[in-house]
Structure 1
Amino acid sequence: MDKGIAKMAFLHLSPPSSSSSFLLNSSIDSIYPKRLFHLSSNQHNRDASLQLPSYSSNQGSRIPAQWRIGVSFFVPFLDRSSEIESLKQQLLDAIAPLDRGADATPEDQQLVDQIASKLEAKNKVKEPLKSNLLNGKWELLYTTSMSVIQSERPKILRPNGKIYQAINLDTLRAQNIETWPFFNQATANLVPLNQRRVAVKFDSFKIAGVIPIKARGSGRGQLEITYLDEELRISRGNQGNLFIVGMVDPFYRVPV
């Protein structure tokens, strides 16, 4: 088990009475109905990139002089946005068939990491722990943490349902939610270490969603948020694991 990031981003818990695993780390269809998430391996939005208008030299000559500065300013901005959207779609296409990383080969992991690194280099949110974009419930799309996705187990014994992480910055609380078939949960306090990195201390767990267990002192870890927008978050743990999550519900509240 990756005892650094798994404890931080998706905690692995194996209670004596259960063979289940427990994970911690977690578009907005009502607000972004055509965005990129809630994808299956056969469902992709392949029109995410922005399409910029093209101007001929004759057309350009008819643009009033006072607007030309504005055009020259906004085109690079749109180019950058288009590149980000293209990279996001490349990333989603790369991880879609990988069962959240459980089926990833070393070559798959390398490709995903390369695309993620390109996105991280274009991250516009320089201080994610001050951004409201971090708030809400996120769904796990991909990770390299094998203790989270239990890839060493037969598929029938792995978490098959969706896995979520919720964060509320105003209360500095986080919650991990595992759905079918184990329904485990964990809640934690967040301690900002800087504007990108956070430490997590778990305070309680629920087995099968109903059996409460107090967290032990070892339930700690760190996570650095390396890319953030309204749809996608990329994080890296202190053991080097990669986590990619997609926004599900920006209004979700973590129990205090």
Structure 2
Amino acid sequence: MALASSFPPSSLPALPHSPRSLHLVSSQVSFPSPRKPAGTDGLSVAPSPLPDEAALRWRTRVSFFQPFIKKKGKSREALKDELFEAIAPLDRGAEASPEDQERVDQIARELEAVNSVKEPLKSDLLNGKWELLYTTSRSILQTQRPKFLRPNGKIYQAINVDTLRAQNMETWPYFNQVTANLVPLNARRVAVRFDTFKIFGLIPIKAPGRGRGELEITYLDEEIRISRGDKGNLFILKMVDPTYRVPV
């Protein structure tokens, strides 16, 4: 959290970079000429420049206060807008360059730092159907395939907090689905145990024993959810239907 300074930065005078430059600047400043006393032949005395020692003392005093002057952090809404703007052109992450990934991750971390839901697995905000907006998971994006063979429609994930069930759903062109049990490890982290796949949304196949992983919910509100997997992948989802429930 940003600390408020005891005085605004704008109240500090702008200083040159060295005592010598301060001497040069002050020597160029014009002052109103005093009334000419008699017997001076019209000569006026120029003001004395600030001594180098005094300038050094002033700069030292200003430098001491700099660490206490903090800029106010961005609001939660501003960070969310920035995140949506960053991921919008990235095709859920399939078109993200390493620089894009770094930028999205940085914004996500700033948002995670202001997360107010400390125990998401106990929150009703988690219930419902979420649309996947961005991920770094290659297995989900299928980036090794030609673009026309990748999942091109929307991808959803639904979670039921009360039954600890989850469901992943692809749309066009494959309509694949998978359901899983969630085993809480703490108030924000779960082990995921996949149980059934449905090919084309119709043909059920029992999930293999290796179909498991872990997921940590690092940010949650009524609109957006950020999660991180045990393989280091980032997932950003947006709520689309809070009334949806995973079939038993």
TM-score scaled by length of structure 1 = 0.68
Deviation, 1:152, is 2.0
Paired position in structure 2 for 1:220: 212
Q: Deviations over 1:31-55 (max 9, x none)?
A: xxxxxxxxxxxxxxxxxxxxxxxxx
Deviation, 1:172, is 0.7
Question: What are the residue-to-residue correspondences of 1:16-31 with 2, within 5 Å?
Answer: none
1:94 matches 2:86 = yes
1:206 matches 2:198 = yes
Deviation, 1:186, is 0.5
Query: Counterpart of 2:226 in 1: which secondary structure?
Result: strand
Paired position in structure 2 for 1:156: 148
Q: 2:175 aligns with which of 172, 183, 207?
A: 183
Instruction: Determine the C-alpha separation between the residues in 2 that align with 1:202 and 1:192.
Output: 14
Question: What are the residue-to-residue correspondences of 1:73-92 with 2, within 5 Å?
Answer: 83-92=75-84
Paired position in structure 2 for 1:249: 241
Q: Which amino acid aligns with 1:125?
A: V
Q: RMSD value over aligned CA atoms?
A: 1.1
Deviation, 1:215, is 1.0
Instruction: Determine the C-alpha separation between the residues in 1 that align with 2:163 and 2:216.
Output: 19
Instruction: Determine the C-alpha separation between the residues in 1 that align with 2:193 and 2:229.
Output: 14
Deviation, 1:154, is 1.3
Query: Counterpart of 1:95 in 2: which secondary structure?
Result: helix
Paired position in structure 2 for 1:172: 164
Q: Between the two proteins, what is the percent identity of the paired residues?
A: 76
Deviation, 1:164, is 0.3
Count of equivalent residues? 177
Larger radius of gyration: 2
Paired position in structure 1 for 2:47: none
User: Which consecutive residues of structure 1, in runs of 5 or more, have no partner in the other structure?
Assistant: 1-78
Deviation, 1:230, is 0.3
Q: Deviations over 1:73-99 (max 9, x none)?
A: xxxxxx98x700000000000000000
Instruction: Determine the C-alpha separation between the residues in 2 that align with 1:215 and 1:221.
Output: 13
Paired position in structure 2 for 1:108: 100
Q: Segments of 4+ in structure 1 off by > 2 A?
A: none
